[in-house]
Chain A
């Protein structure tokens, strides 16, 4: 079991550092690449949690599509490659840091209080639980109506994005 903990800590430290890079970097493209590290790290955590289908969907959709969309956004807003310090931030940095540190403290206290004794037990049945077959069965049996609603939502988002971005 200790191998999993070592892997968790390596990935977690990389994710935390990259997450700070996303919110502190002075270069938008670097921030997007830090975001790739965070997203790939969480895909790796899903693999550790034996959720292989979600992990691959994460790689395909987040890293493959959403980050590319972000880079298109950077390109279309003609962001300068290099900004001087603090130009990308507004003047609420201190307030933002206080709010997020307070939130983090409260969350950690409550999480330790509520789930401090819970341990994840890994066994062979988890391999079936996270398999593509099992997740697909669950989506198309129990959650088929939310699935169809999501497809309508994607259509609406597509039409909305086209209407908003059209130039006339």
Chain B
């Protein structure tokens, strides 16, 4: 089975996530797109782990999953703060630093 199948699928997921981060206004949806990108990276790591018969890639995928969980926890706390301060979950309402 060609290794590229998995790599190109992961590249597609990553680019979809990048589009979501750029084009979404709602902060929860931006976090979901970030998860898509992290998931694409995991797919790459596991595919290379199987290809090279080394378990290190799977261990790194586990670390990425853990850090994604931590990131979502802190990210949602920040989203909650944004919602509390601007009364809206939209990211373009966060403009206090705009000159």
A→B interface (CB under 8 Å): 1, 4-5, 8, 12, 15-16, 19-20, 22-23, 28, 31-32, 35, 38-39, 42, 45-46, 49-51, 53-54, 57-58, 61-62, 65-66, 69-70, 72-74, 76-79, 87-90, 92-93, 95-97, 99-101, 103-104, 107-108, 111-112, 115-116, 118-120, 122, 125-126, 129-130, 134-135, 138-139, 142-143, 146, 150, 153-154, 157-158, 160-162, 164-165, 167
Main secondary structure of the interface of A (DSSP, over half): helix
Query: Considering only CB atoms, which chain A residue lies closest to B83 in the complex?
Result: A77
Quote the shortest CB–CB distance from B81 to chain A (angstroms).
6
Cβ–Cβ contact A100 & B22, under 8 A: yes
- Knowing that A54-B42, A61-B69, A143-B56 touch, tell me 5 more A-B residue pairs with CB under 8 angstroms: A51-B58, A54-B46, A62-B39, A118-B4, A138-B55
Cβ–Cβ contact B16 & A23, under 8 A: yes
Cβ–Cβ contact A118 & B80, under 8 A: no
Q: A19-B36, A20-B16 are in contact. Are A65 and B69 (CB under 8 A)?
A: yes
For the complex, give the distance between the alpha carbons of A78 and B14 in Å: 28
Count the A-B residue pairs with Cβ separation under 8 angstroms: how many? 253
For the complex, give the distance between the alpha carbons of A83 and B90 in Å: 13
Q: Is B94 an interface residue (CB 8 A)?
A: no
Cβ–Cβ contact B39 & A38, under 8 A: yes
Cβ–Cβ contact A119 & B1, under 8 A: yes
Cβ–Cβ contact B65 & A97, under 8 A: no
Cβ–Cβ contact A42 & B39, under 8 A: yes
Cβ–Cβ contact B58 & A126, under 8 A: no
Cβ–Cβ contact B69 & A92, under 8 A: no
For the complex, give the distance between the alpha carbons of A136 and B79 in Å: 35
Cβ–Cβ contact B15 & A100, under 8 A: yes
Cβ–Cβ contact A28 & B51, under 8 A: no
Cβ–Cβ contact B56 & A100, under 8 A: no
Quote the shortest CB–CB distance from B52 to chain A (angstroms).
10
